[in-house]
Amino acid sequence: MALHFPDMGESDSRSALLNGVREFAERRIAPIASKVDEEDRIPPEFYTEMKEQGLMSMLVPEEQGGLGLSTSLFAEVLEMISGYSGGIGLSLEAHNSLGLGHFSKYGSKELIKSTMPGILESGKPVAWALTEPRGGSDARGMETRATRSGNGFMIRGTKTFITHGYTADYIVLMAKTEKGITAFLVDGGSDGLKREQIKGKLGTRGPDTATLSFDDVFVPETNVLGEEGHGFEQAMELLDGGRIAVGAMGVGIARRALSLSVDYAKQREAFGSKIAGFEGIRFGLAELGTSTEASALLVKRAAELRDAGQPHRKMAAMAKYLSSQVAMEATRYAIQVHGGYGYFKGNVVERMYRDAKLLEIGEGTNEVLKLVISSEMFR
Amino acid sequence: MPLSIVVLVKHVYDEGQLKVDAATGLVSLQGVPGKVSTFDRNALEAALRLKQKFGGTVTTLTLGSEEANKSIREALAMGVDNAFLVRTDDLLKLDSRQVVEGLAGGLSKMPKWDIVMCAEGSTDVYSSVIPAMLAEKLDVPYLSYLRSIELEGQTLKGDRSLEKRVVTVECELPAVVSVVSEIYEPRIPTLLQIMAAMKKQITTFDFRDMNVEGEARYSLEGMFAKAVDRKKVMFEGSPSEVASKLVDSMAKEGLI
């Protein structure tokens, strides 16, 4: 099915789609968001529901059985959802932009044909394993090795902080062969793969996190993604997209935090009048509203460049760098506006404050992003 | 027997976004976005469930401007098979008789139908007279305000809630039916359905070809917001504290 819209203008189709996502977020995500956070668990049946909704195959091209959304539209969908649940937003972000995104973009035709339908049908997220215990930011220094063995490779090493790592049926793994860093699609049922769940995340709770140990895990040659030795470039290319998506999550969290604050300020009274009338409240909202829209424009610009096939590494890094900080500031201020009520568990802004923190760390810490941005500036 | 159900869908102003001039109380429609009349989605859900059970088709009929295509596409995304628009840019200038004649004109150009399904009212005007007038015009029975629907052969049955009772009503098809919003929660279309709905055909007729004679016998002169004085008192504390504060306050006001 061709998913362009010959009958309607681009903006009509976009708004129809986003209205659908908003309705799903309000009716299906908002009621469970607090439980997802509290239990640090997204129920399997909710993944099935998200699959049926189309949310588990957003970036997969139509010919592979996905929705084939543009980066721009995908970012807007994530923005909308992350405002309601950072945990569910993160799960969709990591699965669509990294795990499934990597496989879909670099898997061979044969591997896509044999494996993609099952992945899409299962509705289960695909994990993406780059970070290691000794270093997340220093990806080139990874220690996981893939050694040639028969018609494939034997993998040894450890990956950690892997989102969906505990439950994923498939893991996209970066490991070093003699030709350099290489990406593999690893079957979650492989012998020698051990998973240990990591509990206790501060925010974006919901998707599981795990440490994965590979003790001579065999992966057939056919499961190499793209060319051997090109895994690092692939990962960086995927992260460029991922950073736009994380940037969009930040915009969504900031926008909703501010909108909840406006609603609260309109009804909360102090000193005999609504606090919405106080400049002390209004000016902060004005400042953060401005920063939020500025970061939204950066995310939009980076997404448009990616969609147009233009260089966008710097813009994507800038988008995440700015929007993650704005999300932190906006949620911090939202708690301030809510006062004591905002400080307690069960209040949405308290959760959003914790959710926002991840955005300054995941998919490149903001320090790494500053390296990326400056190295692009000095090229 | 496969059913042919027509659902009336209206594109209305989003009542949540109406702007009221504080000084004059005048309601301005300038720049207010449109949306599908909320209750129509419950009627669509009822029709789609009948289709799921008995087979057949669900078609929508809308009277409105080209802008109404947005609401029609929402209905198509929910699983509607065909859609018809009787186009007029002057919907607000039509009286109920003209609306009904326009809709009846549209129905006469559409494939044969068994049920015309309506919501209990539209979320803008909420006159709730259209289904009854349409049934009269079409000379078919009308079951109003149903909260449940069943079909046995050619007999349509349903329950209607009255204040302290529930009455069960029935009639033979073809018929016009109106349903209350409680009947079913509308389904959420998937992203794929929304995308596919963008490409579906909407058949358009011109209202001027519907042979609606005569002038409107009443007209909309303007809209005013009714000022309602509410105290809007917020109580804070634990549920039991809030409950006793509420009771105390109501007692103080002489309400209990």
Instruction: Kindly report, residue by residue over A96-118, the tens digit of the pLDDT.
Output: 999 999 999 999 999 999 999 99
Mean pLDDT of chain A: 95
Q: From CA A115, how far away is CA B43, in angstroms rounded?
A: 41
* Average confidence (pLDDT) over B59-65: 98
User: Is the distance from CB of A185 to CB of A112 less than 8 angstroms?
Assistant: no
* Beta-strand pair B82-87/B202-206: parallel
User: Is the distance from CB of A285 to CB of A361 less than 8 angstroms?
Assistant: no
Q: From CA A341, how far away is CA B62, in angstroms rounded?
A: 47
Helix or strand holding residue B145 (H, E): strand B142-146
Query: SS3 for A191?
Result: coil
The predicted structure's pLDDT at residue A103: 98
Which residues of chain A does B190 touch, with a Cβ-Cβ cutoff of 8 Å?
Answer: 20, 52-54
- Classify residue A346 as left (phi > 0), alpha (psi -120 to 50) or beta: left
With CB atoms and an 8 Å threshold, state whether B194 touches A16. yes
- Nearest CB to A53; choose among B73, B191, B200: B191
pLDDT > 80? residue A3: no
Catalytic entry in A110, A363, A367, A376: A363
Which is more confident, B222 or B14? B14
Q: From CA A57, how far away is CA A68, in angstroms rounded?
A: 8
User: Which two structure tokens, joined as six digits, stand for A135?
Assistant: 């270093």
The predicted structure's pLDDT at residue A369: 96
The predicted structure's pLDDT at residue B232: 78
Q: Where are the domains of chain A?
A: 10-122, 127-229, 232-377
* Average confidence (pLDDT) over B169-177: 97
The predicted structure's pLDDT at residue A10: 63
Mutation for A interface: B38, B85, B198, most A CBs within 10 A: B198
Whole-model pTM: value is: 0.88
* Average confidence (pLDDT) over B67-75: 96
Backbone angles phi and psi of B154, in degrees to 5: -100, 5
Range with the lowest mean pLDDT among A46-50, A304-308, B50-54, B213-217?
Answer: B213-217
Quote the minimal CA–CA distance from B18 to chain A in Å. Answer: 18
In chain A, which residue's Cα lies nearest the Cα of B199? A7
For the range B46-50, what are the long-range contacts, defined as Cβ-Cβ under 8 Å and sequence gap of 24 or more?
B46/B117, B46/B149, B46/B179, B46/B183, B46/B184, B47/B5, B47/B7, B47/B115, B47/B117, B48/B78, B48/B79, B48/B80, B48/B187, B49/B184, B50/B3, B50/B5, B50/B115, B50/B149, B50/B151
Query: CATH fold of A232-377, please?
Result: Butyryl-CoA Dehydrogenase, subunit A; domain 3 (1.20.140)
Backbone angles phi and psi of A309, in degrees to 5: 75, 20
* Average confidence (pLDDT) over B133-161: 96
Q: State pLDDT tens for residues A220-254.
A: 999 999 999 999 999 999 999 999 999 999 999 99
With CB atoms and an 8 Å threshold, state whether A12 touches B189. no
Percent of chain A with pLDDT over 70: 97
Which residues of chain A does B192 touch, with a Cβ-Cβ cutoff of 8 Å?
Answer: 1, 54, 67
Q: From CA A62, how far away is CA B10, in angstroms rounded?
A: 33
The alpha carbon of residue A178 and the mean position of all alpha carbons in its chain are separated, in whole angstroms, by 31
Q: From CA A75, how far away is CA A295, in angstroms rounded?
A: 13
* Average confidence (pLDDT) over A116-138: 93
pLDDT > 50? residue B65: yes
Which is more confident, A345 or A254? A254
The predicted structure's pLDDT at residue A9: 55
In chain B, which residue's Cα lies nearest the Cα of A269? B234
User: Is the distance from CB of A53 to CB of A109 less than 8 angstroms?
Assistant: no
Instruction: Mark A310-319 as b/e (b = at least 16 C-beta within 10 Å).
Output: eebbbbbbbb
- Nearest CB to A20; choose among B70, B191, B199: B191
ipTM for this model: 0.85
Helix or strand holding residue A44 (H, E): helix A44-53
* Average confidence (pLDDT) over B81-108: 96
pLDDT > 50? residue A1: no
Q: From CA A29, how far away is CA A21, in angstroms rounded?
A: 10
Q: State pLDDT tens for residues A141-182.
A: 899 999 999 999 999 999 999 999 999 999 999 999 999 999
Query: CATH fold of A127-229, please?
Result: Butyryl-CoA Dehydrogenase, subunit A; domain 2 (2.40.110)
pLDDT > 50? residue B120: yes
Pick the CATH number of A10-122 from 1.10.540.10, 3.10.20.30, 2.60.40.1840, 3.40.50.10880: 1.10.540.10
The predicted structure's pLDDT at residue A7: 41
The partner residues of A156 in beta bridges, in order of sequence, read A145, A215
Quote the minimal CA–CA distance from B191 to chain A in Å. Answer: 6
Q: Chains A, B: CB contacts under 8 A, how many?
A: 56
Would you place residue B223 in the very low, low, confident or very high pLDDT band (cuts 50, 70, 90)? confident
pLDDT > 50? residue A2: no
* Average confidence (pLDDT) over B98-119: 97
The predicted structure's pLDDT at residue A6: 37
Would you place residue B163 in the very low, low, confident or very high pLDDT band (cuts 50, 70, 90)? confident
Query: SS3 for A365?
Result: coil
